[in-house]
């Protein structure tokens, strides 16, 4: 798709034209950088007041030179698309860079494995760490996973294989649920705890994450199952296999990496959730491996807790925990990506073999 | 004798397409039950929120939605959510205003401008942005972004301060904790969702249509404004609605960068006054009495119903648009 425009025969460009574009892009940037350094201007101010107008002028001139009056609009479109896309990129890079830079200041081996017993907001970074929070996050998230993943896959099976007329409604409700505000999930479990007389513990935190993970898993798993050619299932059925064996022995193995992607994306969705955990669990400074009683620490609530105070050391701890959390999310996400790629190639292999 | 022949015709067989073996019956039963869980979950959330919220709703009446006092010391406590609801809409609207141009540009660049390999990388980056936890965005927003955005706000106030939108009434403005900054933070969180919906819709645009327009002498701009945009407008609107739902439900990130006050701030987006229902729930929760807790439940019920409607609508629009283009 991306090549439809650029590959057309009338889109061939001369070398001189490309040179124009090169000069037109470098000149405004160079002028504004030099001016900004000479006058000592604020960077964002220089970007807005010098660079953008200059770039506008240069784009218009080059477009006019190359294609006449109608080229100007094209040039402006390209300029704005590049500007806004670059803004998105800058924001993303800014988040990543600041977390990595600030977070690595707090990083040390003991920050990973120690817990925060006897650590206050002003204790120096030589003591304490996020070990207890990592364990707590793993415990709570894996409890949610045990419940949400099988159920999500079963929903995906229903959505792809049943010929019931309700599938459309189920799909819409599932998609609407995937936009469930996380604070509402927390309030829901909180209200439930009030009626069922549950104590605040890791288990209630896992319950609160459940409605957030389920729709994600169901949606991604549905896409994965849809990628399996229906001929495979029909062939299995024609050979006399009942539906459940066709699913477990033919479809599930073919969609295996897609299902794992669903699991990983579901994990990435809930591992950083903060609001539901603040509402449903008690914070804890020491390690607690029992999810059914007592307070339990998690990475997001750890960040939240330390950001509340304005001391440098506690902010450094918050950044450090954010870096650990981000690494966790990045790992899950990267694994899902790699598997997702594998999924496509295996599906296309099946198609080719056909 | 023809009559007798009719009599001995075999009975008509019943045709059925239902599952034949017991295993199959259980297989379909299990998946059906699982799929009904979507309805059960929505119903459960409604029931439990409503059960806790009912005393507060009954006591506060409709003023809960539009009044602007939150006083839990008095007896009976007065809990009205007006400024928070207005603030939520304000921040969400600002976020959409900032995010939409960025999202459409990114989607356009990915689908129509970048070579395949770069487009794949860009898609991955956008998805990565969607996966960032909101507490991390909040941390970044408070400590890294707010000081920078405060400069922008100062610039806006000093150059365009004559417009009521950018006025500040206080004496020594700090330019932080304002709906403006919260709008930017929300924009960062909803750009990925609008981008991915728009990208999907863009990539389904009929390439014959585009090439036809180009062959008839259309330029890049006219193809964009006359072919691509009209055919994908419904999908983009759906994506924006999805972003709106996300923006209204955003909790932790806004809590860090916005000062929540019940002194309603209609339009001065650079002032450190604002509101957000979800963040208000979280900020009050710690010290809430039983009565106030019921009020917060009612607030949760409000955002649940609003986001459920918005998301449902958005998904219907998006799937219609995607289906039509296919």
What is the CB neighbour count within 10 angstroms for residue B17? 6
Q: Decide: helix, strand or coil at residue B79.
A: strand
- What's the distance, Cα to Cα, between the start and end of chain A in Å? 25
Place of tokens 């404004």: B225
| Residue B152 in domain | yes
Which is more confidently placed, A150 or A311?
A150
| Residue A168 in domain | yes
Cβ atoms A186, A277 nearer than 8 A:
yes
Phi, psi (degrees; rounded to nearest 5) at B188: -60, -35
> Containing domain of residue B209, as a range?
85-325
The reply to whether B149 touches chain A by the CB within 8 Å rule is no
Q: pLDDT band at residue B46, thresholds of 50, 70 and 90?
A: very high
Among A152-161, B47-56, B121-130, B147-156, where is mean pLDDT lowest?
Answer: B147-156
The predicted model scores a pTM of 0.88
Q: Are residues A146 and A77 in the same domain?
A: no
Cβ atoms B57, A197 nearer than 8 A:
no
Please name the member of A71, A184, A272 whose beta carbon is closest to the beta carbon of B133. Answer: A272
Residue range B126-149: mean pLDDT, rounded: 91
| Residue B106 in domain | yes
Q: Which residues contact A108 (CB under 8 A, 6 or more apart)?
A: A125, A129
The reply to whether B284 touches chain A by the CB within 8 Å rule is no
Q: pLDDT band at residue A90, thresholds of 50, 70 and 90?
A: very high
Q: Which residues contact A322 (CB under 8 A, 6 or more apart)?
A: A99, A103, A303, B135, B136, B139
For A128, the token pair is 């304490």
Write the pLDDT tens digit of every residue in B233-287: 999 999 999 999 999 999 999 998 998 888 888 888 888 888 899 999 999 888 8
Residues of A in contact with B152 (CB under 8 A): 44
Q: Are residues A326 and A211 in the same domain?
A: yes
Count structural domains, chain A.
2
- Whether A322 sits inside 8 A of B135 (CB atoms) is yes
For A151, the token pair is 């159920």
pLDDT of residue A354: 46
Residue of B25, B36, B41 to mutate when probing chain A, most A C-beta within 10 A: B41
The reply to whether A78 touches chain B by the CB within 8 Å rule is yes
B92 vs chain A: nearest CA distance in angstroms?
14
Give me the residues of A, 199-258, that contact B with CB < 8 A.
211, 214-215, 218, 242-245, 247
Among A64-78, B113-127, B280-294, where is mean pLDDT lowest?
Answer: A64-78
Q: Are residues A90 and A138 in the same domain?
A: no
Count structural domains, chain B.
1
For A155, the token pair is 């929903």
Q: pLDDT band at residue B126, thresholds of 50, 70 and 90?
A: very high
Q: How far is CA A225 from CA A238, A240, B223, B252, in A?
A: 19, 21, 36, 34
pLDDT of residue A288: 85
Write the pLDDT tens digit of every residue in A118-154: 777 777 777 888 889 999 999 999 999 999 999 999 9
For B31, the token pair is 């998946």
| Residue A122 in domain | no
| Residue B74 in domain | no
Q: Across-strand partners of B71?
A: B78
Preceding amide of B179 cis, omega within 30? no
| Residue B59 in domain | no
Residue range A57-76: mean pLDDT, rounded: 82
Q: Across-strand partners of B78?
A: B71
Q: Across-strand partners of B274?
A: B260
* DSSP 8-state class, residue B33: H
Residue B251, Cβ density class (10 Å: 0-12 exposed, 13-18 middle, ≥19 buried): buried
pLDDT of B103 over the 80 cut: yes
Please name the member of A78, A242, A329 whose beta carbon is closest to the beta carbon of B133. Answer: A329
Q: Rank A18-22, B149-153, B164-168 by mean pLDDT and report only the highest.
A: B149-153
pLDDT of residue A325: 94
- In this prediction the ipTM stands at 0.88
> Comparing C-alpha atoms, which of B313, B100, B281 is closest to residue B194?
B100
Percent of chain A with pLDDT over 90: 36
Give me the residues of A, 272-311, that contact B with CB < 8 A.
272-275, 278-279, 300, 303-304, 307
Cβ atoms A287, A131 nearer than 8 A:
yes
pLDDT of residue A182: 92
B69 vs chain A: nearest CA distance in angstroms?
22
| Residue B257 in domain | yes
Residues of A in contact with B49 (CB under 8 A): 184, 187-188, 191
Residues of B in contact with A84 (CB under 8 A): 101-102, 104-106
Place of tokens 């898609």: B123
Which is more confidently placed, B240 or B29?
B240
Q: Are residues A95 and A154 in the same domain?
A: no
Q: Are residues A76 and A165 in the same domain?
A: no
> Containing domain of residue A152, as a range?
131-353
- Whether B296 sits inside 8 A of A84 (CB atoms) is no
| Residue B282 in domain | yes
pLDDT of A1 over the 50 cut: no
The reply to whether A80 touches chain B by the CB within 8 Å rule is yes
Q: How far is CA A236 from CA A247, B73, B228, in A?
A: 9, 69, 43
pLDDT of A21 over the 80 cut: no
Q: Are residues A161 and A99 in the same domain?
A: no
Residue B101, Cβ density class (10 Å: 0-12 exposed, 13-18 middle, ≥19 buried): middle
Give me the residues of B, 206-265, that contact A with CB < 8 A.
207, 210-211, 214, 219-222, 224, 242, 245-246, 248-252, 256
Q: Are residues A143 and A81 in the same domain?
A: no
Q: pLDDT band at residue A294, thresholds of 50, 70 and 90?
A: confident
* DSSP 8-state class, residue A165: T
For strands B70-71 and B78-79, give the pairing.
antiparallel
* DSSP 8-state class, residue B267: S
Supply the Cα-derived Rg of chain B in whole angstroms. Answer: 27
For B10, the token pair is 């075999």
Residue environment code for B153-164, b if the CB has 16+ CB neighbours within 10 A, otherwise e:
bbbbbeeeeeee
For A299, the token pair is 């990475």
pLDDT of residue A147: 93
pLDDT of B87 over the 80 cut: yes
Preceding amide of B76 cis, omega within 30? yes
Please name the member of B32, B135, B207 whose beta carbon is closest to the beta carbon of A300. Answer: B135
Q: What is the CATH number of the domain that holds B225?
A: 1.10.3720.10
Please name the member of B20, B111, B152 whose beta carbon is closest to the beta carbon of A44. Answer: B152
B116 vs chain A: nearest CA distance in angstroms?
6
Q: How far is CA B161 from CA A90, A115, B166, B167, in A?
A: 27, 50, 5, 5
Cβ atoms B123, B103 nearer than 8 A:
no
Q: What stretches of B132-169 show up as alpha helix (H) in DSSP? A: 134-140, 146-160
pLDDT of residue A2: 44
pLDDT of residue B17: 65
Which is more confidently placed, B138 or A351?
B138
Q: How far is CA A2 from CA A75, A85, B103, B203, in A?
A: 18, 16, 17, 8
pLDDT of B326 over the 50 cut: no
Which is more confidently placed, A72 or B50?
B50
- Whether A274 sits inside 8 A of B133 (CB atoms) is yes
| Residue B70 in domain | no
Residue environment code for A19-44, b if the CB has 16+ CB neighbours within 10 A, otherwise e:
ebbeebbeebeeebeeebeeeeeeee
Please name the member of A78, A170, A333 whose beta carbon is closest to the beta carbon of B128. Answer: A333
Q: Are residues A72 and A219 in the same domain?
A: no
- Residue by residue, DSSP assigns B181-228 as HHHHHHHHHHHHHHHHHHHHHHHTS-HHHHHHHHHTT--HHHHIIIII
Place of tokens 């830079």: A101
Residue in B with minimal Cα distance to A70: B219
Residue of A71, A160, A184 to mutate when probing chain B, most B C-beta within 10 A: A184
pLDDT of residue A3: 44
Half-sphere exposure of B105 (CA within 13 A, CB side): 20
Place of tokens 């059914």: A292
Q: Are residues A135 and A246 in the same domain?
A: yes
- Whether B105 sits inside 8 A of A83 (CB atoms) is yes
The reply to whether A147 touches chain B by the CB within 8 Å rule is no
């Amino acid at each position: 798709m991306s090549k439809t425009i650029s590959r057309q025969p009338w889109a061939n460009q001369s070398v001189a034209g490309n040179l124009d574009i090169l000069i037109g892009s470098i000149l405004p940037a160079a002028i504004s950088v030099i001016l900004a350094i000479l006058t000592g201007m604020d960077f964002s101010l220089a970007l807005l007041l010098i660079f953008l107008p200059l770039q506008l002028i240069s784009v218009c001139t080059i477009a006019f030179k190359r294609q006449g009056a109608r080229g100007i609009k094209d040039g402006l479109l390209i300029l704005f698309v590049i500007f806004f896309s670059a803004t998105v990129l800058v924001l993303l890079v800014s988040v990543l860079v600041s977390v990595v830079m600030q977070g690595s200041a707090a990083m040390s081996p003991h920050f990973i494995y120690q817990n925060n017993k006897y650590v206050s907001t002003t204790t120096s970074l030589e003591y304490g760490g996020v070990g207890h929070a990592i364990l707590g996050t793993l415990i709570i998230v894996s409890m949610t996973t045990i419940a949400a993943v099988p159920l999500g896959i079963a929903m995906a099976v229903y959505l792809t294989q049943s010929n019931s007329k309700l599938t459309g409604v189920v799909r819409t409700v599932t998609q609407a649920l995937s936009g469930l505000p996380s604070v509402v999930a927390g309030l829901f479990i909180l209200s439930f705890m009030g009626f069922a007389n549950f104590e605040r513990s890791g288990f209630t935190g896992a319950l609160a994450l459940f409605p957030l993970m389920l729709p994600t898993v169901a949606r991604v798993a549905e896409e994965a199952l849809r990628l399996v050619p229906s001929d495979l299932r029909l062939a299995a059925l024609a050979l006399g296999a009942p539906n459940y064996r066709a699913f477990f022995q033919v479809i599930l193995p073919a969609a295996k990496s897609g299902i794992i992607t669903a699991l990983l994306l579901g994990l990435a969705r809930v591992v950083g959730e903060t609001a539901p955990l603040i509402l449903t669990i008690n914070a804890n400074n020491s390690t607690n491996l029992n999810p059914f009683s007592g307070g339990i620490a998690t990475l997001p609530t750890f960040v939240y807790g330390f950001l509340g105070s304005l001391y440098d050391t506690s902010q450094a701890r918050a950044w450090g925990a954010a870096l650990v959390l981000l690494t966790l999310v990045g790992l899950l996400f990267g694994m899902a990506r790699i598997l997702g790629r594998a999924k496509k190639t295996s599906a296309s292999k099946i198609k080719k073999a056909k | 004798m023809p009559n007798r022949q009719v009599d001995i015709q075999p009975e008509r067989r019943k045709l059925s397409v239902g599952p034949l073996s017991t295993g199959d019956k259980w297989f379909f039963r299990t998946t059906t039950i699982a799929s009904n869980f979507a309805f059960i979950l929505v119903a459960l959330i409604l029931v439990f929120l409503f059960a806790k919220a009912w005393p507060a709703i009954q006591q506060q009446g409709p003023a809960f939605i539009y009044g602007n006092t939150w006083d839990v010391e008095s007896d009976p406590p007065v809990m009205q959510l007006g400024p928070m609801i207005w603030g939520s809409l304000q921040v969400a609207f600002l976020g959409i205003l900032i995010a939409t141009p960025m999202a459409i540009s990114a989607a356009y660049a990915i689908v129509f401008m970048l070579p395949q390999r770069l487009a794949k990388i860009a898609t991955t980056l956008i998805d990565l942005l969607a996966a960032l936890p909101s507490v991390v965005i909040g941390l970044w927003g408070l400590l890294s972004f707010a000081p920078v955005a405060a400069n922008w706000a100062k610039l806006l106030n000093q150059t365009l301060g004559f417009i009521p939108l950018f006025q500040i009434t206080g004496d020594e403005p700090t330019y932080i904790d304002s709906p403006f900054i919260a709008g930017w933070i929300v924009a960062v969180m909803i750009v990925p969702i609008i981008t991915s919906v728009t990208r999907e819709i863009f990539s389904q645009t009929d390439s014959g249509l585009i090439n036809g327009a180009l062959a008839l002498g259309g330029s890049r701009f006219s193809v964009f404004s006359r072919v691509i945009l009209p055919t994908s407008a419904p999908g983009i609107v759906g994506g924006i609605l999805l972003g709106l739902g996300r923006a209204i439900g955003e909790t932790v990130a806004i809590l860090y960068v916005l000062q929540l006050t019940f002194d309603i701030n209609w339009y001065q987006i650079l002032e450190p006054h604002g509101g957000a229902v979800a963040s208000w729930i979280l900020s009050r929760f710690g010290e809430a009495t039983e009565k106030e807790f019921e009020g917060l439940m009612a607030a949760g019920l409000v955002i649940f119903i609003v986001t459920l409607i918005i998301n449902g609508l958005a998904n219907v629009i998006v799937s219609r648009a995607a289906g039509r283009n296919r």
